Structure 1
C-alpha cells in the first residue's frame, strides 16, 4: 500500500483533513441508518400501506366503472323491454332477470380484479 502524499502547505492539509472528516461522517450516518431496524421497518410498512391504498383505490375505480357499464346495459335492456310487444307477466319478470344478470356481472368483475391484485 502506498502512502498518500502529504501536502507541505498547512492550509491544504487542514482542508484535506476536513474533507476526510466530512466523508467519514457521511459513511457513519449511512451505516447507522442501515443498522436502524426499527426505522427501516417503519419505512417498509409505510411503503406497503401506500401501495395497498393505491391498489384499493384502483379496484374501487374499476368496480365503479364496471357498475356504471352494467347499469347502462340494464337501463337499455329495460327500455327495450318496455318497447317490446310482450305479455304483461313476461315484461314484469324480465327486468328482474336483467338486474340479476347485471349484479352477477359486477360480482364477477370484483372477484377477478381482487384475485389479480392478490397474486
Structure 2
C-alpha cells in the first residue's frame, strides 16, 4: 500500500506548495525589522528641531576651526613683521629703545607714587574748599 495521506474519497491529499510556517514567521520578523528602521528614518527626517541643533553644532565647530586657523595665521604674520622691523631698525636705535623701556619700567614705581601724591593733594584741596 501507499503511505500518502488520503482524503475521504481516496485521493491523495494536496501537499503544501508555499513556504512553511517557520519561513513565514522569519519573513514577517524581517519585514517588521525593516519597517521599524524605515519608521525611525522617517521620524529623524521629520524632526526639524534635532536637525537644526545638529546643523548649529556643525557650523559652530567650523567657525571654531576657522577662528583657530586665522588666529594662527595672525600670530605667524605678526611674528614675521616683528622680525622684519627688528632686522630693518638700526642698531643704535634698538639700543636706545631698550634703554628707554628699562628706564620706564624702573621709574614706574616712582611715577605711581608721584601720581598718587598729586591725587591726594587735589582731594585735600578740594575738600577744604567745600568747608569754607
TM-score interval, normalised by the smaller of the two chains: 0.5 to 0.7
* Counterpart among 26, 46, 50 of residue 57 in structure 2: 46
* Counterpart among 82, 91, 95 of residue 82 in structure 1: 91
* Counterpart among 43, 46, 52 of residue 35 in structure 1: 46
Q: CA deviation at 1:74?
A: 1.1
TM-score (norm 1): 0.61
- The structure having more radius of gyration, on CA atoms, is 2
Q: Does 1:11 align with 2:22?
A: yes
Runs of 4+ deviating beyond 3 Å? none
Q: CA deviation at 1:25?
A: 0.3
- Higher RCO structure, 1 or 2 (CA under 8 Å, sep 6+): 1
Gaps of 5+ in 1: 1-5, 84-90, 96-119
Q: CA deviation at 1:8?
A: 2.1
| d(CA) in 2 for partners of 1:56, 1:7 | 66
Q: Counterparts of 1:57-68 in structure 2 under 5 Å? A: 57-68=68-79
Gaps of 5+ in 2: 1-16, 98-132
Say how many residue pairs are matched.
Answer: 79
Kindly report the root-mean-square deviation, in angstroms, between the aligned alpha carbons of the 2 structures: 2.0
